[in-house]
Structure 1
Amino acid sequence: MAVAGWAYWHLDHNIQGVDIDHALGDDRPRERPAAASSPAGPAAASPLPTGAVNILVLGSDSRSGGRNAALGGGDSGGARSDTAMVVHVDPGRTSATVVSIPRDTLVTRPSCPLPSGRTTAVAYGTMFNSAYEVGGPVCAVKTAESLTGVRMDHYVEIDFSGFAGLVDALGGVSVTTDEDIDDDKSHLHLPAGTHHLDGTRALALARTRHGLGDGSDLGRIGLQQKLVRALLERVSGSGLPSDPAGLYRVADAVTGSLTTDTGLDSLGELTDFARSLKGLTADRVRTVTMPVVPAPSDPNRVVAKEPAASRLWESLR
């Protein structure tokens, strides 16, 4: 019991929470009405949620800590959202849509509150991933909501070391690439074909862009979506629920590098949320990219393609 208690305390204290609801107040898209919940089990204290939910998931390029520095280089300042996805889970929580937002998308970044009590200035025609850099998770959520018109019910951020650790704790993932990848910047060199990747190489695959196609962010997003599906398939087939040691390794790898909103910042809340998704399998997850076109002001950047982008976001509200 003492070991179990320590393990719970350790995992629970790994998670960092950000009170996004308090920081943003009422200046947000309309909240979805609460849906009915399902029983969590005979010994459960509260029922599990079953309603639709939208989650902003960011992969951060923070270099804080030795493991992150080794994986990404640079210093701990000026971190940006290296990867951004809006995960929409449908009512009943047995199917989902994952929408990637290219980090090079030019947006109007709204004024965001800062922990100091000050606010950032509105910025026009700036890259989407700059929001995290100037205002952290709160500004990332506000910018995503401004771009999409979709209220983000939750926020989840994982850094380099957390992603690599998750892949390693799962025993690696298998991904098929359609073309050779030769990228000195990400230190990744793979011939076309199927590869079983450890955490370091899976992270390199998620970040590579210079050795693929035209070097744009759109080619990299395709690889990231393959990794998402590979991770889901790995989790589904890993037998983790019956393997306490394996489950602990995965939980320790993830929670040690995880930042969430205050609705998910405890082990109990995360566990209940994960259990509410037990019917969601990899084959019920659709991955898409926000429709974009080259930006008129800069051919190396993109802007949302209308009205296709608005129609996509409307389907997730």
Structure 2
Amino acid sequence: MPADTTPDDGIADEAALSGPRGRAKGRRRKPRGKGRRALLVTAWTAAGIVVLGGTGLGYVYFKLNGNIKSVDINQALGADRPTKVDNGSENILVLGSDSRSGSNKKLGGGTDDGSARSDTAMIVHLYKGHKRASVVSIPRDTLVDRPRCTGTNGTAYPAASAVMFNSAYSTGGAACAVKTVESLTGVRMDHYVEVDFSGFQKLIDDLGGVQVTTTKNIDDKNSHLDLQAGTHTLDGQQALGLVRTRHGVGDGSDLGRIQLQQAFIKALVEQVDHIGVLSSPTKLLDLADTATKSITTDSDLASVKALASFADGLKGIGSSHMDMVTTPVEYDPSDPNRVLVEKSKAKLVWDALKNDKPIPASATKGTATGEAKGVVASS
């Protein structure tokens, strides 16, 4: 098998990805490998605004409003997009950014050139009535045909074939990432939310940690994570290590890491109601301040009022009402470090989202998976 020359953070330059790929030989190494957190970020932000707003602290609104960064996705993409389905559902593209600049620089491995990359990608589908949600993770190592797109800075980027999915974000930012997801799925993204490394870590610390149970030892020096099997209350650094680790458990793949991320988020969702956030205005302000500093949204969500309204509609969605799946993929026979979309099964997923229906179990049956399932269980 050819040596994997991808940098440790899982990003390869586009020239290397789009060039010829020799057929792998010998023992198959499954693709290497963050993330389901922006849903909760907006909920915490909303809680802070609703409670603090009632105290008459009007300056809090303006302080938090000034924290939020945004991108105008609609202007960048124009009219060449899937039709918006008016059935009461919403689709949100959530990205975890691993920018190596600023406070993120000391948190990420790989390069330190200050560039931003998409380390995690998922589509959150909110069903009509916002009582249930489906979360579809897109492996960053998936080879896709990236469409021609215009970045939010107005720069036009040509289309490219057989490139890693996360190259869309590193090439043209949020607008190109949304364009690529819409091209891949045929599903219109109603909103965009991006969360960065340092913000995620501080949010967990502000919450006082998250309790999880590991069924196996996890030791990954790259992610600075060393946990014995058992129950742990993870601080921000440990939580970040867990959702990023790929060498510490399973097969070292991005698919396996997605399983860890999904288990962690379910544990987090289950525990948020018991943390006592609403009983402490100070904690609420800290959480809201951290949350609004940590996210970038589309322009329609780029205000405290819009975030609070949006998040208020999510408060009834607990872990038992979240269906988490991974985009149906298969290993690339020419490069076992990459995966390809299994188109017939993926169509079942995309059609379900378009029609606001549950994702059928048959959509993911028999597709490629990692080997980290069951390593993390909620306590």
Greater relative CO (CA pairs within 8 A, separation 6+): 2
Match of 1:5 in 2: 58
Aligned AA (2:117): R
**Pair 1:293-2:346 in alignment:** no
* Root mean square deviation of aligned Cα: 1.7
Contact kept in structure 2, 1:100 and 1:290, CA below 8 Å: yes
Mapped to 2, the partners of 1:101 and 1:189 lie a distance apart of 27
Q: Equivalent residue of 1:206, what SS?
A: helix
Match for 1:58 among 79, 91, 95? Answer: 95
* CA distance 1:115–1:20, change in 2 (3 Å): closer
Relative distance call for 1:224 and 1:181 in structure 2 (3 A) is same
Partner-residue secondary structure (3-state), 1:70: coil
Tell me, yes or no, if the aligned pair for 1:84 and 1:102 is still in contact at 8 Å.
Answer: yes
CA shift digits 1:234-289 (9 cap, x unpaired): 32223333432222111111111110001111011000111111221221111111
Residue 11 of structure 1: how far off its partner (Å) = 0.9
Task: Name the residue aligned to 1:274.
Answer: 311
- TM-score norm. by structure 2 comes to 0.76
Q: Which runs of 5+ in 2 are unaligned?
A: 1-52, 355-379
Contact 2:201 2:240 survives alignment (8 Å): yes
Residue by residue, what CA displacement relative to the aligned partner does 1:27-52 show, whole Å, maximum 9, x if unpaired? Answer: 1111022x6xxxxxxxxxxxxxxx31
Does the aligned pair in 1 maintain the 2:152–2:173 contact within 8 Å?
Answer: no
Tell me what 1:28 maps to.
81
* 2-structure distance, mates of 1:115, 1:92: 32
Contact 1:179 1:191 in 2 (8 A): yes
Q: What is the CA–CA distance in structure 1 between the aligned matches of 2:231 and 2:63, rounded to whole Å?
A: 37
CA contact (8 A) 2:122 2:136 kept: yes
Please say if 1:207 is aligned against 2:244: yes
Taking the aligned partners of 2:135 and 2:212, their CA distance within structure 1 comes to 18
Structure 1 counterpart of 2:203, from 155, 166, 182: 166
* SS of structure 2 residue aligned to 1:252: helix
- State the partner residue of 2:260: 223
Which residue pairs with 2:144 in the alignment?
A: 107
Mapped pair 1:120 → 2:157: yes
Identity, in percent, stands at 57
Task: Report matched runs for 1:138-157 at 5 Å.
Answer: 138-157=175-194
Equivalent position of 1:182 in the other structure: 219
* One of 66, 72, 93 as aligned partner of 2:108: 72
**How much has 1:115 moved relative to structure 2?**
4.2
CA distance in 1, matches of 2:311, 2:119: 24
Q: What SS does structure 1 have at the residue aligned with 2:271?
A: helix
Task: Mark the runs of 5 or more structure 1 residues left unpaired by the alignment.
Answer: 36-50
Compute the TM-score of the two structures, normalised by the length of structure 1.
0.90
State the partner residue of 2:134.
97
Distance 1:9 1:170 in 2: 23
TM-superposed CA distance for 1:199, in Å, is 0.7
Using the TM superposition, give the Cα deviation of residue 206 of structure 1 relative to its aligned residue in structure 2, in angstroms.
0.7
Matches for 1:245-256 after TM superposition, within 5 Å: 245-256=282-293
Offset of 1:192 from its aligned partner?
A: 2.5
Q: After alignment, is 112-121 or 88-97 more displaced?
A: 112-121
What residue identity is the alignment partner of 1:63?
R
> For each residue in 1:171-218, what CA deviation from the matched residue of structure 2 results, as whole angstroms up to 9, or x when unmatched?
111222332222111111112333210111100111110122111101
In the alignment, is the contact (CA less than 8 A) between 1:29 and 1:145 conserved in 2?
A: yes
Alignment of 1:9-20 (within 5 A): 9-20=62-73
